[in-house]
Structure formats: C-alpha cells, structure tokens
Amino acid sequence: MSFLDKFFGKYSRDLGIDLGTANTVVFARGEGIVLREPSVVALDKSSNKVLALGNEAKRMLGRTPGNIVAIRPMRDGVIADFEVTEVMLRHFIKKILNNKAFMQFRPRIVVGVPSGITGVERRAVLDAAMNAGAREAYLIEEPMAAAIGANLPISEPFGSMIVDIGGGTTEVAVIALGGIVIAKSIRVAGDELDEAIVNQCRKNYNLLIGERSAEEIKIAMGSVYPTTENETTMEVRGRDLVTGLPRTFTISTAEVRDALIEPVNTVVDAIRMTLEKTPPELAADIMDRGVVLAGGGGLLRGLDRYIAQETELSVYVVDDPLSSVAYGTGKVLEEIDLLKKVLVSND
C-alpha cells in the first residue's frame, strides 16, 4: 500500500453500497449502516431538475402532477437511467459526507452488483460511482457480498448456498474456497411479488391498486406458508376498473398467498436448477449445512419453511436480511487486501 493510499485511507470515509432496485443501503467503514433509503428520484419533466430523492421521492410515487415524475433509476438490479442513478448516488454520498472537512478526501467505494450483469452494465456502475465522487471504485457480486455479510465461511473448502432475494433480482449461488462455483441470477424478486398482488386485485375485484399499496399489503400480510395464527384481512383502496371511481375492498391473507406462490415457485426452481449443476461434493455439503436466505425477500413470512418443504433442505434466514449485502461490502472495505480476490475485475 502506497503512502498516498495510507494517507487517504486515514481520513476518507470509505463506503460500501448496496445499490438496489428498491433500496440503497450504505455502510461506512468503522461506523456500520449509515443510510437506508428508497432508490427513487422525483424529477420535473420540463426542466429535468431533481426535486426529491430517497424517502421524500418515494412518498410521491403514484401521486405526482403531470409535470413531475417519480422514477426508480435501477431496474432488475442494473442501471436503467445512468444520469439519474449518478445524481442519486452523489446525493446519498454527500448526505453521508456532510462534514466539509471530509469532502476533500474522496471515499473508496465498493458496490454490490448482480452476478449476471454484462460488462457494459458493470462499467456503467463503476462510472456512476466514480462520477459521484469516489476515489476508487470496486464491484462485488451480490451473492458473495451477502454471504460475507451473513458470516458464511466463504474461504473454507466446503460449499455454502446463499439465496439473495432483492427488489429486482434473486441471486442463487454456491460458494467455496473464496469464489462462486455456480450462480444463477433471475429477474424475479420483490417487484414481481408486488406486481402479482396488483394482478390478483385486478382479477378478483376488478380494482386497480398502485405499486405502493401492493408493497404495503406484502409487508403487512404477505406469506407463502399457511399457519393458523397469521390469517387476517386488510382494507385496501383502489380504483374500480368498471366505474372508474375509488372503492374500498377487503383482501385476505389466503388471497395474497395465492398471488405470491407463482413468483416464489420461480425462485424455488432457480434453487433447484443451481443444485442440479452443483458438483456432488458441494451438494452434499449443502445437504448438511442448508440454504441461507438474505435480501428483503427473506422477510416474507413462511418463505424459509416453504423452500425447505419444496427442496427438502434446511433453510435459515440471516439476522438482518435487508442489510446483508451492505454489511458484506463493508467487511470487504475493512479487509480489502485480504478479500481483493472476491472483487469483480474492473476490466
């Protein structure tokens, strides 16, 4: 490590970023999680001026007048709008580095990315991080970051399986000896769960609800494994597709569960396909050690029990699934020389 690296490392607040489709979570070295905000930006369409970001912008989703649009610049785990993503990243970084004395010491940044992204998409993330104020930028695949954040023994000569269900992608990976042996990335995750609820309300009640309402239903009563204690109902407001007028209806846990089963089965299929391609010795390790669930999808009630039932494997949810990728990027920052082999090449 050069003198300049040591000097900047002493004064800069290095950041690990889980740049997610639904939420951006930031880990500051030596401090832990310092920011968790929705990956949403509100723009004035006429001037392209940014009006709000994060929590404030998310409150505007589905409620904006014609000249304002609230958008999510990340789609399916990758950058859909480069310029807006860069603005959002810069805003979050400045919000964290609010002490002007530290602003001159640009941070080193590690960003979690889906395992299936292309070289062009990798370069877009690196460029966005550098343009947002990074001194150096590195990428790490999200399943590897989630495994590190979950304290899995990634360097050991036996296999560990991690399933990271985010907002835009689900990452399934088998890790051994510090590398990803086999991985599958599917673009079915939290957003598709919300969409399934929207479609269920349209089909069963002829009512249209927004994505925010669907997410609220998922969080409040979403489940995929029936139990006697979590059966409940919830009042939901939507627009009647026949009359065009607002109407309130009541949805049950069973209906929500029925809506969520199809996308959840797609995740289960991805786990099965990954296991089928896993070398026999590592598959035997997974039989012994089980599957670890991370990401916001890990919070879905009964998901661990449903996957265990369908795969006949033990399934465990990490302590803080929403933060596992960010914690992983943070651990890489703290031991960057030791863990450089897990970073994605910048080439």
- Categorise residue 78: left if φ over 0, alpha if ψ from -120 to 50, beta otherwise: beta
- The answer to whether 232 is a known ligand-binding residue is no
Strands 136-141, 343-344: pairing kind: antiparallel
- The answer to whether 23 is a known ligand-binding residue is yes
- The answer to whether 343 is a known ligand-binding residue is no
Query: The tokens 């369908």 sit on which residue?
Result: 310
Query: The tokens 């920052």 sit on which residue?
Result: 333
**Which contacts (CB < 8 Å, 24+ apart) does range 240-246 have?**
240/206, 240/207, 241/202, 241/206, 241/207, 241/208, 242/206
- The answer to whether 192 is a known ligand-binding residue is no
- The answer to whether 336 is a known ligand-binding residue is no
Among the listed residues 326, 268, 332, 321, the one whose alpha carbon sits nearest the alpha carbon of residue 295: 321
- The answer to whether 168 is a known ligand-binding residue is yes
- The answer to whether 167 is a known ligand-binding residue is yes
Per DSSP, the three-state class of 12 is: coil
Task: Supply the DSSP symbol for 39.
Answer: S
- The answer to whether 216 is a known ligand-binding residue is yes
- The answer to whether 298 is a known ligand-binding residue is yes
Do residues 30 and 44 make contact, with C-beta atoms less than 8 angstroms apart? no
Instruction: List binding-site positions.
Output: 21-23, 167-169, 215-218, 296-299
Q: Which residues are annotated as a binding site for ATP?
A: 21-23, 167-169, 215-218, 296-299
